[in-house]
A and B are shown apart, each in its own frame.
Chain A
Amino acid sequence: MTTSAIIMIIIGLGIVTYLVGRARAVTLSQGKLSNMHSRPVYYGAYAAICAMLPALAVLVVWLIAAPIVVEKAVKTSLSETTQEISVATGNLTFGTVRAIAGGLTKLTPEELARAKAGEINLREILGARGVPLASETDPAMVAAAEDYNALNATSRMAMTGVVLLVGLLGAAFGLRRIAARFRARNGVERVILVALIAASCIAILTTVGIVGSMLSETLRFFASVSPSEFFFGTVWDPRFSAAGNANSAGQFGLLPLLAGTLYIAFVAMLFAVPIGLFAAIYMAEYASPMLRSTAKPLLEVLAGIPSIVYGFFALITVGPFLRDLSANLNGLVTGNYQSFIQAQSVLTAGLVMGIMLIPFVSSLSDDIITQVPRAMRDGSLGLGATRSETIKRVILPAALPGIVGALLLTASRAVGETMIVVLAAGVAARMQLNPFEPMTTVTVKIVNQLTGDLEFTSPQTLVAFALGITLFVITLCLNIYALYIVRKYREQYE
């Protein structure tokens, strides 16, 4: 029986149990619902939970555990026959066995018999059925594959039986407990509460997953490239052509990427901060309600546009525009129509990223500025300060911590931005200071290293995780510090 069928049966069982439980509660109440502790639906729900929850738990555990057990059993029998030594080749062989096993189910019995007798080539016939095999099969593997299939079938049979049994037992237990004074509602609510807690733990699990997965892959990367080479290396040259060859692993210097990331983020902030901040100040302090209610959403539209669109804008419009502009400028000044800004450059990426960040700066700062109490404004205006003096000397200093927090959050976004730089910054990992030249970033290299078909064992691929964890740590520090500042700031004026 397939897993989904089992799940459907459990759900069906749950529904039936629910209906029976509810009906039982109604009967027990003898027409007076106040005789019962809880309303009938809770009794039904309680019984249904008893029926479904343990069964589903058993199902999940079984689904996770069974493949491991089966794999172990098959591997033991394989190594007895073939005397495999290393774990790696053992894994490889097991992979083939699994592929054969998958293929065997697609064969008719007589084909199988003929294949086993050696009359037809198993690899060819499986290839024709859409199951490509990496190597020729040998009888031991076929036998192991048959074992594997048999074990799996037994496991599935046993699982179906056990799960359904647990479900029925649960249902019986739940239904038996229904009594007038039984606190069904409390039981149901306890289960719901546990579910709520589990849901909120997903946030923690995500973080654990991010850190754990990236850390383990990074450690694998550091097994072949030393951390000091990675963190302090000034040359980025992963040498794809030599991928897999451990002797020419290439050079994985983080610094050029980090330099590009920070440079582009800096240029972006250079555009976004003044524009965003002044826009926020104008909207919070000067704008009429009319202007505010039109300009604010318009600027926020900029925040809603996906970054791929900005990337395309940079690639197709801004880059060529800057290149042609620089060519014309150069021509006007020196007579030589050679462009000095390249289409893919730090400036292009920074400018477009800056545009994307304007609404972040402005709406975060707007929130912060409007939180400064009115009494501050009144106090300053009452002394005869002009509005701009009030803003510059009272409101901004008061809002400064919050604004710094907002800017840090924006910087974290700039550092982690991917699509704009992938399309507009270039791929050359260089350390230089000319904003008109292309540079590359950490995010670009993560994408470069991981797109395409790659084995997950070479340092060329694993380096992406080392880059990822670097990026994660940088943004984590920025975020936590920024969130801390903003929170402190809010408390100050609450």
Chain B
Amino acid sequence: MNIITDTALEKALDAKMNTTPLKMIGKDVSVYYGDKRALFDVNLNVRQNTVTALIGPSGCGKSTFLRCLNRMNDTIDHCRVTGLITLDEQNIYDSAIDVVELRARVGMVFQKPNPFPKSIYENVAYGPRIHGLARTKSEMDQIVESSLQKAGLFNEVKDRLNEPGTGLSGGQQQRLCIARAVAVSPEVILMDEPCSALDPIATARVEELIHELRANYTIVIVTHSMQQAARVSQRTAMFHMGNLVEENDTDKMFTNPDDQRTQDYIMGRFG
């Protein structure tokens, strides 16, 4: 096995983009809220160890699609999903798939930081605890520490693990939420505009984190900011009025998109 550096890996990954395996596949996905149709036959694939950005104007369905990927839409009354979504070639809406297990594998980070009103430690330990991932206290300590490490938060909070998570700053809270998601060791992490409530410095910190997480996780991120999509993602999908307009390599998307609407959106003609 070759030993390769991080940057080398990154370059190699970028180069091999088109050959990386597909982690999740969405086929003809439509979503209805009651009588209102929010998504129209979306076909979108998510590649392993890749950051996929979903962009588009507000209300275009990008968050809706994201929430389909770990069936968070189930929690909304009157919401109905049709089509096929697979995780490792298994239909996640299949009755054989358990939604709890699915969400343990496909974690989610929300738009607004939503730490539980518990201590920092308990916030991170929450997932492992409900799933029974740690047998002993030291195992749990281990998981909490490594998760906080991965979220780049450990050094900032290591002396106050027992203080409430709600006492952290906005950016720290969001990284805490990422650590909380990471602690369950998911395979995919969904991020729904994770930086929209953060200031630029905190945003930069989270984006950096996304970069680092890519090595171990598959990430799908919904973002409002095209710059952010360009900075963090390798693949970008553009939504408009419930339709998937274009899906492409990020570089290509922002330099030479296939679709006129994408061009217009990127140029700021609407949105």
Contacts and interface: CB of A to CB of B under 8 A. Distances in A.
A384 B116 contact: no
B75 A377 contact: yes
A287 to B, nearest CB: 11
B130 A382 contact: no
B117 A383 contact: no
B130 A379 contact: no
Contacts of B114: 373, 375-376, 378-379
B137 to A, nearest CB: 18
Contacts of A397: 116-118
A115 interface: no
Nearest to A382: B108
B72 A378 contact: yes
A377 B75 CA distance: 9
Interface string A360-398: 000000000000010111111111111001000110011
A289 interface: yes
A373 B117 CA distance: 11
Interface in B102-127: 102-105, 107-110, 112, 114-118, 126-127
Nearest to B105: A384
Interface residues of A, number: 19
A382 B100 contact: no
B114 to A, nearest CB: 4
A375 B127 CA distance: 16
B6 interface: no
A389 B77 CA distance: 20
A379 to B, nearest CB: 4
Contacts of B105: 384
Interface residues of B, number: 29
A189 to B, nearest CB: 45
Contacts of A389: 130
B131 interface: yes
Nearest to A401: B117
Contact of B110 (A289, A378, A386, A394): A378
B101 interface: yes
B42 interface: no
B116 A394 contact: yes
A207 B133 CA distance: 57
A384 to B, nearest CB: 4
Contacts of B130: 383-386, 389, 393
A401 B109 CA distance: 27
B181 interface: yes
21 contacts: A289-B77, A373-B114, A375-B110, A377-B75, A378-B108, A379-B115, A380-B126, A381-B72, A381-B103, A382-B110, A383-B104, A383-B126, A384-B102, A384-B103, A384-B104, A384-B131, A385-B100, A385-B130, A386-B130, A397-B116, A397-B117
Interface of A: 289, 373, 375-386, 389, 393-394, 397-398
Closest 10 CB pairs of A and B: A384-B104, A382-B108, A384-B103, A375-B114, A379-B114, A383-B127, A398-B117, A385-B130, A384-B100, A389-B130
Given A378-B75, A384-B102, 11 more contacts: A375-B110, A377-B75, A378-B110, A379-B115, A381-B103, A383-B103, A383-B130, A384-B103, A384-B130, A385-B130, A393-B129
